[in-house]
Amino acid sequence: MATSIAVKSKACRGLTSSGLKWAALILMVLDHVHYFFGFTGWIPEWCSMLGRLSAPLFLFCAVEGFTHTRSRKKYFLRVYGLSVLMTGLLLLMHVFGLLVRPDGFYPMNGMMTAYAVLMIVWQGIDWLGEKRYLRGLAAVVLPLAWPVLLTALLSGLPALRLPLVIIGFTLVPTWNISLDACLPVLVSGILLYLFRGNRRRQVAAFAAFELLYYLVYMGYMCARLPDFHWTQMFTMYYEWYGVSAGILMLCYNGRRGSGRKGFFYAFYPAHIYGFYALSWVLYLLLN
């Protein structure tokens, strides 16, 4: 009996999936406070620095959720629905110039689009593991190649430009149209999924890529800028701070926690557009 209690106590140590999500949510809010209200000069830069940890943590939780969910189809449809909603609003702002703040700013957040694309790729990876090669290759390659295919279609069929743009922004997720849905995020998500069976290797693969891309590669690219100094990698080009999320990933105890998935789904778009509306009001008051 004592042994059973000790084993149970040991298994409960660390952070649950819900705990990681709450940590990521708080860090995300700090980041977005700086993102939406930074124009006031009142919000310190460290809010965004801490916020670099939020996206990797949410991505890690998405891998766990997709791996252990009872229905991948329902999981995907929830994420896909939010993706269509948010990219639809982005379409109105980016293409049609509607709902844009007077200074030209509008939110480019697209985390749900990245997840929708990645879930298709993750399923494709599993199909390849099951030797269902045709279906697996299609699921992996087509979502990743879609921005290139869309560009080719736009060039070859100029008469259909508007409907193709609408489709690319909404019904068929295009990963390069927002800040959160970019190639490095997709690569991180694929690595986290491929190595999910071994936590240390998973975090090591994630950390190696984050440092190689955001610190080494981006540092090399930024070094070409005039008046660049390497100290700016700690003050201006600090995307690589996200590597620190690996520490919290290692604290994950494999348990789901309290859940409340509905809250997290609703909170993301609600706080994005709530902050955006408040920033618009504040901008008008200050100008």
**76 token code pair:** 């995907």
What are the pLDDT digits (tens) for 216-251?
Answer: 999 999 999 999 999 999 999 999 999 999 999 999
Q: Stretch 249-257: mean pLDDT, rounded?
A: 92
Type of residue at 23: A
CA distances from 257 to 14, 70, 122 (A): 11, 16, 24
Q: What are phi and psi of 96, to 5 degrees?
A: -100, -5
Write out the H or E segment, with its range, that includes residue 227.
none
What are the pLDDT digits (tens) for 64-100?
Answer: 999 999 999 999 999 999 999 999 999 999 999 999 9
Radius of gyration of the chain (CA): 20
Helix (H/G/I), strand (E/B), else coil: 15: strand
pLDDT score of 12: 54
Helix (H/G/I), strand (E/B), else coil: 4: helix
Is-above-0.75 flag for pTM? yes
Given the structure tokens 């200050």, which residue do they identify?
Answer: 286
Helix (H/G/I), strand (E/B), else coil: 287: coil
Question: Residue 187 — pLDDT band, cuts 50, 70, 90?
Answer: very high
Count other C-beta atoms under 10 Å from residue 270's C-beta: 11
In whole angstroms, what is the distance from residue 73 CA to residue 84 CA? 16
pLDDT score of 173: 86
- pLDDT above 90: residue 3: no
The per-residue b/e assignment along 22-34, b for 16 or more CB within 10 angstroms, e otherwise, is: bbbbebbbbbbbb
CA distances from 165 to 90, 143, 160, 173, 231 (A): 12, 16, 9, 11, 40
**16 token code pair:** 């649950």
In whole angstroms, what is the distance from residue 100 CA to residue 280 CA? 9
Q: Stretch 126-138: mean pLDDT, rounded?
A: 97
Mean pLDDT of the chain: 93
Q: Stretch 28-42: mean pLDDT, rounded?
A: 96
**137 token code pair:** 């290759």
Task: Name which of 176, 181, 209, 180 is nearest 195 in CA terms.
Answer: 209
pLDDT score of 209: 98
